[in-house]
Amino acid sequence: MLIDYHPVGDVQIDVNTTNNDLCEYYGCTYPEMFNYDSLANVDDGTCIPVVIGCMDDSTPACNFNSLANTPDSTSCEYPTVNYNCDGNCLNDSDGDSVCDEEEVPGCIDILLVIMMRPLQMMMAHVNMLKIIMIVMVIVF
Number of domains the chain is built from:
1
Proportion of the chain above pLDDT 90, given as a percent: 41
Cβ within 8 Å of residue 123, ≥6 positions away: none
Q: Measured on CA atoms in the order 104, 105, 106, 112, is the torsion positive or negative?
A: positive
Cβ within 8 Å of residue 51, ≥6 positions away: 34, 65, 67, 68, 69, 70
Structural domain includes residue 8 = yes
Structural domain includes residue 76 = no
With a threshold of 0.85, does the pTM exceed it?
no
Structural domain includes residue 129 = no
Determine the structural domain holding residue 22 and report its residue range. Answer: 2-43
Residue range 21-37, pLDDT digits in tens: 678 999 999 999 999 99
Structural domain includes residue 25 = yes
